[in-house]
Structure 1
Amino acid sequence: MNQTTYLDRLTGLDGDNAPFANERYRYLRHCAERGATPASLEIKRKELLWIAAHLGPDASEGVDTQALQRMATERQRLRGAVTAAQRVVNIGRPWLRFLGWWREPTVVFQYQSQLEQYVTWMRNERGFTPSTVEQWSRMIGRFLRWCDQTNRQLRDLQPEDVDAYFVTQATGRWSRVSVANTASTLRAFLRYAAKRGMCTDRLAASICRPRLYRQESLPYAPDWFDVQRMLADAETDEPRDIRDRAILLLLAVYGMRSGEVAALRLDQINWEGRTLRLFRLKRRQPQIYPLVSSAAEALARYIDTVRPPSSCPEVFLCMHAPRRPLKAGSIYDVANRRFVALGIDAAHRGGHALRHACASRLLAEGLSIKEIGDHLGHRSAASTSIYAKVNMQALREVGAFDLGGLQ
């Protein structure tokens, strides 16, 4: 019995007058396409039928967490089990989100409206990218919540209050880069707030960010021997290891970013032409790479033996249902697990460390900064030049240079 026939049988059990039948069927089909088992679909069907019967006719206008919790409490009262209430929440919330009916809870604090106004200004007046808007709003929201929690009024803030924020929040927790970025973001917000009479205009001018020097830090590349150990550790017949080895090879051989690995699609692999078409995030344009044999074999083994049937175009999917595509954070976890399991000492233990290892290896093999930058998808040589500082072979040659009798 195929999935469509099975779903038709499931929904047919509910009768013709069951509420929100089309909405429930679409969601169950969505779950089936992402690998949900028949047993899981049966549980979802029963819970969704009960939830649908308790939704009002205006459900499409939005259902909040309080409404769903009331349904969960009623379900628990009838069934006499805490798990019954939790199942209502765990199944109902993803369904409502799928339909676009879920009303996300908003944590309201004293300066919520000021933050929302600034976000609108960043997006509409300044034209900031969604990523910048999200990052800045998070940093500013953290500061405004701190003001709210410490009973500080925005209109009465003094430079000493801003200093207290950095002392209490940043000390021992934030890097110099994080402190510098937060200082710049707060300075921009406080300039905006002063122009609108929310605070004194002295605040923005009082914020001094730590000075950052170009190439002041060393790249945090693990030794290539350790990279080989990670690849060897993943060379087993376990499904997770098969998937992880393919991911690790993309990170180490092509220097891909975690987001680029997560976004990789099946149609970007040209098996006949033995090429890989990557969309570099910083360059925002595709690049064609040769599909090296080790990566090709790892990808083919994962796709042929481990990757579940799915309508998702992305290559890498979750190991368990729902079979959704991996996110960039999951790619970090794949690399981090190996660093920890093998006891590899490194300043950073995510996928980006393997990207640095790729660059350092190419430099050791004699490639130019321009060639390495092109391989990594950098937009400028300045982004790549940091690796010139760790060419240990070149430094040894300098150190061995015979100066003769010169003092």
Structure 2
Amino acid sequence: MENEIRDFILYLHEEKKTSVNTELSYKRDLQKLQSFLSGQGIEDVGRITETSLNSYVLYLEKNQFAPATVSRHIAAVKAFFHFMLKKGMVSEDVTERLKAPKIEKKAPEVLTVEEAARLLEQPGKDAPKDIRDKAMLELLYATGIRVSELISLKLSDLNLRLGYIICRDGMKERAVPFGNKAKEALTLYLKEAREQLTKGNEGDTLFVNCSGKPMSRQGFWKLIKIYARKAGIEADITPHTLRHSFAAHLVENGADLHSVQEMMGHSDISSTQVYANRNGNQLRNVYQRTHPRSR
């Protein structure tokens, strides 16, 4: 099965042009399946049956994997078998009747506009590190990009004059605009802080740590936790909270879903729809609380 997984990942990379993160996710999930089947004495893909796959799903559920995680594993297995069937590696698709558990879509955790403003005001104004942090937070909230996209940005991806960045996910790229606050923070960072942090080393990475190397996800995660505490925000926020807040605040102020979808880089409009649903629920709650004939 190891060879088939390798061929599948190569197919995703070369033909489907998927992102590195997607490929790693598929690989991890399929290797977990391989390990489980090996424990059942199944080494050959031709011996995998509907029953053995159902046993695997049951194993995941018994080990208390979240429904979303189980669904992701099932999606990986289905994609893997579709590939093998297409390439003639198997004669039938035994995943056809494999069903994913029902997942309740939770409303995304978002900050209020006031909380977002408090968070963005936390970094200091003088130290290079603080100036960098301010620029990163402002850009994240201004664009709604993923933290992985934020730390991967190159100087060449930034157009300060026109106010947009280029984000890349695998072979796909999108242009995302940003406003004056982010532009001011980025201008200050490039003018007064970045060179001190890079210590004169050449490189195209936009945001660097205090050693002059690219910022890490973990490093930025810690920063946002510290600033959230300083801002008096009680919710356990993550970098993704700013992404959700960006989208929610746009929708609340009348942005159309297709524009938000494009800026967020969502491949499916249903992923963006949750922000409209959230907005609708808020309006309904306000109506029920305040209209004299709502009860």
TM interval, shorter chain, is: 0.7 to 0.9
Deviation for aligned residue 1:319: 1.5
**Can you give the 5+ residue segments of structure 2 that lack an aligned partner in the other structure?**
none
1:312–1:324 CA contact under 8 A, matched in 2: no
SS in 2 for 1:295: helix
Aligned sequence identity (%): 19
Deviation at 1:236, TM superposition (A): 5.3
Match for 1:174 among 16, 41, 65?
A: 65
Listed as ranges, the matches of 1:301-320 within 5 Å are: 301-303=188-190, 304-305=192-193, 306-308=196-198, 309-320=200-211
Matched, 1:113 2:3: yes
Aligned partner of residue 128 in structure 1, secondary structure: coil
Give the match's secondary structure for 1:307. Answer: helix
Partner of 1:58: none
Matched, 1:233 2:118: no
Q: Give the superposition deviation at 1:248.
A: 0.9
Distance 1:382 1:146 in 2: 33
Write the deviation string for residues 77-122 of structure 1: whole angstroms up to 9, x where unpaired. xxxxxxxxxxxxxxxxxxxxxxxxxxxxxxxxxx433433443455
Please tell me the residue identity of whatever aligns with 1:398. Y
1:128-170 C-alpha deviation (Å, 9 max, x unpaired): 224344432221112112333x252235555454344334445
Query: What SS does the corresponding residue of 1:285 show, helix, strand or coil?
Result: strand
Q: TM-score, normalised by structure 2?
A: 0.74
| Structure 1 position 389 matched with structure 2 position 282 | no
Report the residue type matching 2:16 in the other structure.
F
1:5-404 maps to which residues of 2 (within 5 A)?
Answer: 111-122=1-12, 127-131=15-19, 132-148=22-38, 150-155=39-44, 157=48, 159-171=50-62, 174-190=65-81, 196=89, 201=92, 203-205=94-96, 207-212=98-103, 216-235=105-124, 237-269=126-158, 273=161, 275-281=162-168, 284-290=173-179, 292=180, 294-303=181-190, 304-305=192-193, 306-308=196-198, 309-320=200-211, 323-327=212-216, 330-339=219-228, 344-346=233-235, 349-370=237-258, 372-373=260-261, 376=264, 382-391=270-279, 394-399=283-288, 400-403=290-293
Amino acid at match of 1:113: N
Query: Which amino acid is the alignment partner of residue 299 of structure 1?
Result: L
| CA displacement, residues 144-197 of structure 1 (integer Å, 9 cap, x when unaligned) | 12333x252235555454344334445565332221121122134346668536
| In 1, Cα distance between equivalents of 2:62 and 2:221 | 26
Does the 8 Å CA contact 2:142/2:246 hold for their aligned counterparts? yes
Deviations 1:292-328 (A, max 9, x none): 1x323432333313432232122201211xx332355
Q: CA RMSD, aligned part only? A: 3.7
Aligned length: 281
CA contact (8 A) 2:122 2:230 kept: no
Change (3 A) 1:192 1:356: closer
CA contact (8 A) 2:175 2:263 kept: no
Are the counterparts in 2 of residues 191 and 201 from structure 1 also a CA contact under 8 Å? no
Change (3 A) 1:325 1:226: same
**Larger of the two Rg values belongs to structure:** 1
Task: Check conservation: 2:208, 2:215, Cα contact below 8 A.
Answer: yes
Higher relative contact order (CA closer than 8 Å, sequence separation 6+): 2
How far apart in 1 are the matches of 2:231 and 2:65?
Answer: 27
Deviations 1:42-85 (A, max 9, x none): xxxxxxxxxxxxxxxxxxxxxxxxxxxxxxxxxxxxxxxxxxxx
Give the secondary-structure state (helix, strand or coil) at the position aligned to 1:335. Answer: helix
Question: Cα 1:388–1:172, aligned 2, differ >3 Å: closer, same or farther?
Answer: farther
Cα 1:117/1:263, change in 2 over 3 Å: closer
1:121 and 1:256 mapped to 2: Cα distance?
Answer: 27
- TM-score calculated relative to the size of structure 1: 0.57
Deviations 1:325-367 (A, max 9, x none): 23556444443444467674546x3322101112222333344
Post-superposition offset of 1:261: 1.9
